[in-house]
Amino acid sequence: MTPTETLDAAPTLGVLYGRALLTARSGGTTLPDRRLELAGVRIDADAVADYDHVCGFSVGGVVPPTYPHMLAFPLQMRLMTDREFPLPAPGMVHLRNVITQARPPEVGEPLRVAVHADRLAAHPKGAQVDLVTAVTDADGAEIWGSRSTYFVRGAPAPAGADDVPAAPREPDPRVGRLPHAIWKVPGDIGRRYAAVSGDVNPIHVNGLAARAFGMPGMIAHGMWTKASALAALAGRHGPAFTVDVVFKAPVRAPSTVYFHTAAVDGGWDAELVSPKGRDHLLLTLREA
């Protein structure tokens, strides 16, 4: 059984990003053999409202299905900034995020959040790793879970990483040729999303830093694009589902992108593409 480290409070993201800069050149050869856990977590109504405004959800509705990622991200960063973690946190890019929700969490209810690292693997352009989250309610039932895949360009994969079982097949949405919405991505969306999420990764908030990490310029957070896509689908599916998203080409800020959707048997398919037809996001949502 994986050992569990119970935290007294949520880690402070500002401190963790400072640590990330100090540990960028350090790291072990294997993933940390422990799970981080934080109990008594309660969702704040004002924080959800601020998140709703930035991501396009209806204020005062149910807690958005992407919001629990906000609860888990400080624990993920705590693991990824440990000196033993095999990949450096600065410049890390979100490649894929799979969320399975049994029911929406409620504002104010006590929750337990647990995070562990998994599936360290080689990538054609570096190395990648999964951070797995489970959110349970007061009865111990898992109501929300996710698997986030992060990538570091140019990072060497430790020995044995190629032996990791392959990830499930990527989503393959089938949508029509014509978009259902045109998004004007604001130039400040990285800073606005960072303000509500705490994710101040420099590739999202500073153009020069983004280019230093191999980006074309400042890019929108992947979880902002996923949240915005789910905001567009709000009210069109039930409370229990799995939504799988792959973040393909980065979405520059500012830019214009096209959002395509299609109702399918058991859920929805969606794509976010550039004016030239380049895929930015591939999404499949299937109800439980």
Instruction: Summarize pLDDT for 104-159 with one digit per residue, the tens.
Output: 999 999 999 999 999 999 999 999 999 999 999 999 999 999 999 999 988 887 77
Task: Say which range, 19-33, 48-62, 72-86, 195-209, has the weakest mean pLDDT.
Answer: 19-33
Q: What is the mean pLDDT of residues 153-174?
A: 82
What pLDDT score does 16 carry?
84
pLDDT tens across 19-57, in order?
776 666 557 888 999 999 999 999 999 999 999 999 999
Mean pLDDT of the chain: 93
The percent of residues above 70 in pLDDT, for the chain, comes to 97
Rounded CA separation 10/72 (Å):
9
What pLDDT score does 229 carry?
98
Q: What is the mean pLDDT of residues 54-73?
A: 97
- Top mean pLDDT of 20-24, 77-81, 92-96, 187-191 is at 187-191
Does 17 score more than 70 pLDDT?
yes
C-beta of residue 273 within 8 angstroms of C-beta of residue 257 = yes
More confident residue, 229 or 213: 229
Q: Judge residue 282's burial from the number of C-beta atoms within 10 Å of its C-beta, 0-12 exposed, 13-18 middle, 19 or more buried.
A: buried
Q: What is the mean pLDDT of residues 154-174?
A: 82
Tokens of 36: 């981080």
Question: Quick check: helix, strand or coil at residue 190?
Answer: helix
The percent of residues above 90 in pLDDT, for the chain, comes to 77
Rounded CA separation 190/203 (Å):
9
Rounded CA separation 264/267 (Å):
5
Q: What is the mean pLDDT of residues 170-198?
A: 96
Domains and CATH numbers, the chain: 4-159+175-287 (3.10.129.10)
